[in-house]
């Protein structure tokens, strides 16, 4: 079984959203055989990836950073998408953190990088804004020798 994980920005500018969706569909739909997709289901890239992975027939493994993870969702629609996707998952992995902290996010991101054959990064190429951010997880995966597919449109920066 092929295993693909995701890391990415929570905020994806409108001018790159279609490109990101097309890129995710190309990665997730362009393989033979069974697929397992790993996501923490955060708003933005993680939820887009999970939705498209399910459309492509993948088994979804959700990696929950902390016991209070749902409290980190400020947007009611994003929380509803999180809950819907979590119900559709075939497997749930929960990190051993009570609270949503940068360390919990880092643990979830590195778990995904450790578990996948390929990491997809919805990433503008800039350094992480905090511990456990996209840039840091990409660097971690690359240090492991994992292939990383970056999906973004050059010249577009996130908010």
Task: Tell me what pLDDT residue 32 has.
Answer: 82
Is the pLDDT reported for residue 159 higher than 80? no
pLDDT per residue as tens digits for the range 10-56: 999 999 999 999 999 999 997 788 999 999 999 999 999 999 999 99
User: What whole-number distance in Å separates Cα of residue 130 and Cα of residue 94?
Assistant: 21
Mean pLDDT to the nearest integer, 60-78: 96
Q: Which two tokens stand for residue 45?
A: 């890239």
Mean pLDDT to the nearest integer, 123-141: 93
Q: Where are the alpha helices (DSSP H) in the chain?
A: 14-29, 45-55, 76-88, 102-115, 134-143
Task: Tell me what pLDDT residue 96 has.
Answer: 96
- The CA angle 55-60-24, to the nearest 5 degrees, is 50
Mean pLDDT to the nearest integer, 133-145: 97
For the chain, the maximum distance between any two Cα atoms, rounded to a whole number of angstroms, is: 38
Q: Mean pLDDT, the chain, as a whole number?
A: 95
Task: Tell me what pLDDT residue 94 has.
Answer: 97
Q: Model pTM?
A: 0.96
């Amino acid at each position: 079984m092929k295993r693909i994980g995701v890391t990415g920005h929570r905020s994806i500018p409108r001018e790159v959203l279609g490109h990101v969706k097309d890129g995710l569909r190309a990665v997730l739909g362009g393989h033979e055989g069974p697929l397992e997709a790993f996501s923490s289901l955060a708003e933005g890239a993680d939820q887009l990836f999970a939705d498209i992975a399910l459309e492509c027939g993948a088994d979804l493994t959700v990696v929950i950073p902390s016991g209070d993870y749902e409290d980190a969702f400020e947007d009611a629609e994003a929380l509803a998408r999180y809950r819907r996707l979590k119900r559709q998952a075939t497997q749930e992995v929960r990190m051993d953190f009570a609270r949503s902290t940068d360390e919990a996010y880092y643990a979830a991101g590195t778990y995904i990088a450790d578990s996948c054959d390929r990491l997809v990064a919805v990433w503008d190429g800039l350094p992480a804004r905090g511990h456990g951010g996209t840039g840091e997880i990409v660097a971690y995966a690359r240090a492991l020798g994992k292939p990383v597919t970056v999906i973004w449109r050059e010249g577009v920066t996130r908010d």
